[in-house]
Every structure is written in structure tokens, then in C-alpha cells.
Amino acid sequence: MANNTTHTTEYRVLAKILLVLMFLTFLTISITSFHLGAFTVTVALLIAGVKGFLVLSYFMHLKYESLLLRILVGMVFVLFIVIVLITFIDYAYR
């Protein structure tokens, strides 16, 4: 018995997501060419975060997966952010 929790993402939806991703790519390139200092890094990473979120939810179908899996994926990113923060605090007060 097939036990796929099937959700079929339509071609149209995927194509739309690609368009948004491409727009965000061009946005990143044009914003970073202005040299706005520390602000640039934040904006570039923020846009990358949005792009990553779109890939995870639509291309990787996380939007239609079980709550357990979604929480697990979220925890990995939380874990990573915690590691980054602790390391930077360590470096800053050394």
C-alpha cells in the first residue's frame, strides 16, 4: 500500500516561486552594489533567509509535511543561530 502523504504541487505554483526567487536574487545584487556598510550584510542575509524559507516550504514541500518534521527543521536553524551567537560572544569578550 502506498503511504505517501501526497500533496502535489502544481507546475504553476513552482514557476511562480522561481520568479520570486529570481527577483530576490536581483534585489540582493543591486542592493549590495550600493556599499551601505554593515547594513548591506544584514539585508543580504535577510533576503537569503527569505529565499531559503521559500525553497524549504515549496520546493522541499515542508509546507505540506507533518508538524513534527517542520519543528525538527526549525530546531536545526535555531541550534545553528545559538551556536553562532555563543561563538561570537566568546570572541567578543576574550
The H-assigned helical ranges of the chain are: 11-32, 38-54, 67-92
The H or E element spanning position 74 is helix 67-92
Shortest approach of another protein to residue 31 CB, angstroms? 9
> Which residues of the chain form contacts with another protein (CB under 8 A)?
1-6, 8-11, 14-15, 17-18, 21-22, 25, 28-29, 32, 35, 40-41, 44-45, 47-48, 51-52, 55-56, 58-60, 66, 69, 72-73, 76-77, 79-80, 83-84, 87-88, 91
Burial of 60 per CB tally in 10 Å (0-12, 13-18, 19+): exposed
Shortest approach of another protein to residue 93 CB, angstroms? 14
CB 30: neighbour CB atoms within 10 A? 9
Shortest approach of another protein to residue 4 CB, angstroms? 5
